[in-house]
Amino acid sequence: MNEKFFELKKEKQDRMINGAMKVFARNGYKRASTDDMVKEAGVSKGLWFHYFGNKLGLYDFIADYAVKYMNMELMAMSNRHPEDYFETTLAVELTKLSVRKSYPYIPLFLSSMEREKDEEALTVLGEYKDAYRKARLKAYEKVQMDNFRDVVSMEVLARTLGLTLDGFLREEYEEDNFSEENYKQEVESYLRMMSALVEISEETE
């Protein structure tokens, strides 16, 4: 990370981080415009290049910052999460909502990072994707899998939940006014349904 950047006032740091994160998250690396970031953050274009050199340097910084911040929150959550798979999944999703208080676009940026296809962007994303995946897996360390490991493939279940919940998240971000309550209700309803389906499968075994 750029140490000089952190000598700026925190309020200015966050404006620049949030501005860049929003533009990258909504547009992807290739279509992200530094002019849009300037408008979002209210700082000159020269200041961006002074601290980050170029667009890739800025993207590298934002990816590093977003992953470290989110992983720190996931680690704190994992120290108090329940042993039930679906309750832990809900806790992970609620953690995404909690980080929005400081950085509203971290969840969407992390989602876009996983989907990023641009070759230049991918040159810096490998370690961040790996670190984020490891943190998510660690959140499930204490979860008891024995109850339904023979009924359903955990890999298939995790992928199905992940894709569906990511779809809920991206759909909510498409609205100008992200509703955390709507997202929470959608997630809770879906997880209750999936939990009930797994229980039914167990009973019919």
Average the pLDDT over each of 22-26, 119-123, 132-136, 145-149 and give the range with the smallest value: 145-149
Nearest to 88 by CA among 187, 168, 199: 187
| Residue found under tokens 């404006």 | 15
Contact call for residues 71 and 34 (beta carbons, < 8 A): no
Q: pLDDT category, 130, cuts 50, 70, 90?
A: very high
Q: What is the pLDDT of residue 138?
A: 87
Q: What is the mean pLDDT of residues 11-37?
A: 96
Q: pLDDT tens digits, residue range 94-129?
A: 999 999 999 999 999 999 999 999 999 999 999 999
Does residue 10 surpass a pLDDT of 90? Answer: yes
Does residue 159 surpass a pLDDT of 90? Answer: no
Tokens at 196, concatenated: 């009930």
Cα dihedral 171/182/97/132 (nearest 10): -40
Burial 36-66 (b: 16+ CB within 10 A, else e): bbbebbebeeeebeebbeebeebbbbbbebb
Q: pLDDT category, 174, cuts 50, 70, 90?
A: confident
Q: pLDDT category, 26, cuts 50, 70, 90?
A: very high
Q: pLDDT category, 13, cuts 50, 70, 90?
A: very high
Mean pLDDT for all residues in the chain = 88
Q: Which domains does the chain have, with CATH numbers?
A: 4-204 (1.10.357.10)
